[in-house]
Amino acid sequence: MRNRGRRVVEAAYVKIENAQKPDESRGQDVMLWKHNDYKDFFFSQRTWDQIRTRGPEVRWHSLVWFTQGVPRQSFIVWLAFRDRLSTRIRKQSWGITQGCMLCGEREK
């Protein structure tokens, strides 16, 4: 295992050493961000739009996502609207049984 790790590091070192070095005669090295094409600026919104799958807009979106909303609470409400909260009934379907967290009553 150790030898394999050493070989990987050595191979990476050789690749870096043999890579084409920056050269002033070929122009200045610049960093570009890929949107639909390459740009010299970055937008998180455009990146998010590229990596996500956009679905149809739901009617309840303004009840969950709004400017003064607390992100943690908005996330919980979003889970509730999508029926994804880990409720007692859902946990039972997964084979998890748990008594009441508040009063300690055992599961029936």
Give the sign of the dihedral formed by CA 84, CA 88, CA 93, CA 94.
positive
- The amino acid that residue 54 corresponds to is R
> Are 99 and 106 spatial neighbours (Cβ–Cβ below 8 Å)?
yes
What SS3 state is found at 96?
coil
CA atoms of 23 and 31, how far apart (whole Å)? 15
**Mean pLDDT across the stretch 58-85?**
91
Share of the chain above pLDDT 90, in %: 23
- List Cβ neighbours of 63 (8 Å cut-off, separation of 6 or more): 77
Condensed to tens digits (0 to 9), the pLDDT of residues 33-48 reads 877 788 888 888 888 8
Predicted pLDDT of residue 87: 80
